Amino acid sequence: MEVVLQHITKRFPSRDKNNPADVIAVNDFDLTIPDGKLVCLLGPSGCGKSTLLNMISGLAKPSDGHIFFGDVDVTALPPENRGIGLVFQNYALYPHLTVRQNIRFPLENLKGDRKLSKEAMEEKVQEAAKLVQITQYLERKPSELSGGQQQRVAIARALVKGPGVLLLDEPLSNLDARLRLQTREEIRRIQQETGVTTIFVTHDQEEAMSISDEIIVMETGFKRQVGHPQEVYDHPCSLFVAKFLGTPQINVFDGRIAGGKLYIGDEAVLDFPGFPDQEVNVGIRPEGFIPAENGAFSFERSSVEVMGRDVSIVGKHPAFQGASIRAIVSSLNKIDTTATVDRFSLVPEKVHVFDKNTGAVLTLAAKEKE
């Protein structure tokens, strides 16, 4: 099922006497989520992800705008008439019901010609349980399951009616690290097996990058960038997006463009034609540093961390905006352990230059001119 959002806005009345302006949790959101894809709404806490998801599910009403499922305008439909499955962070299973009864629950309320026989219900329960691999726990109560297993039950319950759209709000946040990894792979597998259009909310960029066909990066209620995870990582539209994606974080320096060259401190680190002279922010991905004796850029070394496959060179620079620069280089490089300064050439694709005032990327504009 394709999902289309048109000018979706959600305003909440302010409860703050000193700041009476409405809170705009979601701001004029336009988005098309293609049929059969898994997309992530990604952004920091408070950026409006849950509010947006709640409007798609029907739990909340937009202040403005329209939501379409396929050709149908569902904006005014209650959740139960939208054909959706919902999964939340806190599984929300009925504690007094068995796993089987929990999964069957949504089927028992079907009315009229959608009403199912006992046998048909059992068949659907089995199918959903098999999909999430919990068939052996059907007689247990939720309290007798691990967090990961409980979340699988919640997913089975969300899928049992064969929804057109599956909505998940931070479904992995209550799981420990190992289970989080495993369950996110499971969700991806289930999504691909069923082909259900899936909207997954998370604040965890790694989670979003690893499972999505597309990510939608949000900031303060706004849609900032939409695209395949690699595309967004490689071509961030703003400093905010560049900083939000990637671990370790992109290294940000004060820089300037002068005479078609990009400077950090006194060093001209890259050719950067096509822009007037100006102060800029320069982001360099950790993998953008190539150790080179005659490289154009250098920084003072603080330490070297050996990580097996890679080596992390940690350092300082007067123009650096954070605490420590991190350059990640292959361990095949011979690192002089006695050196106090490291010199690098920079990989141009890994260097992103941003407008000092707006944060908008400058390389993107140059690309469009090509």
Among residues 51 and 281, whose Cβ is nearest to Mg ion?
Answer: 51
**What is the total count of residues that contact ligand ADP (CB under 6 A)?**
11
Say which entry of Mg ion, ligand ADP, none residue 46 contacts (CB below 5 to 8 A, set by partner kind).
ligand ADP
Tokens 């002279």 locate to 277
Among residues 44 and 359, whose Cβ is nearest to ligand ADP?
Answer: 44
Q: Which of 27, 50, 197, 281 binds Mg ion (CB under 5 A)?
A: 50
- The verdict on 335 binding ligand ADP (CB under 6 A) reads no
Shortest Cβ 43–ligand ADP spacing (Å): 6
Work out the widest C-alpha separation in the chain, in whole angstroms. 79
Strand, coil or helix: 87: strand
Among residues 22 and 279, whose Cβ is nearest to ligand ADP?
Answer: 22
Long-range contacts of 357-363 (CB under 8 A, 24+ apart): 358/238, 359/238, 359/239, 359/240, 359/281, 360/237, 360/238, 361/235, 361/236, 361/237, 361/238, 361/239, 361/242, 362/257, 362/275, 362/280, 363/235
Shortest Cβ 146–Mg ion spacing (Å): 24
Shortest Cβ 200–Mg ion spacing (Å): 12
- The verdict on 199 binding ligand ADP (CB under 6 A) reads no
* Angle, alpha carbons 147-215-148 (nearest 5°): 5
Shortest Cβ 14–ligand ADP spacing (Å): 8
Question: 171 is written with which tokens?
Answer: 């479904």
- 272: exposed, middle or buried (C-beta count within 10 Å: 0-12, 13-18, 19+)? buried
Between residue 1 and residue 60, which ones bind ligand ADP under the rule CB under 6 A? 12, 23, 25, 43, 45-51
Say which entry of Mg ion, ligand ADP, none residue 366 contacts (CB below 5 to 8 A, set by partner kind).
none
| Phi, psi torsion values for 149, nearest 5 degrees | -70, -40
Contact between 188 and 229 under an 8 Å Cβ cutoff? The reply is no
- 263: exposed, middle or buried (C-beta count within 10 Å: 0-12, 13-18, 19+)? buried
Say which entry of ligand ADP, Mg ion, none residue 25 contacts (CB below 5 to 8 A, set by partner kind).
ligand ADP
**Contact set with ligand ADP (CB under 6 A):** 12, 23, 25, 43, 45-51
Binding site for Mg ion (CB under 5 A): 50
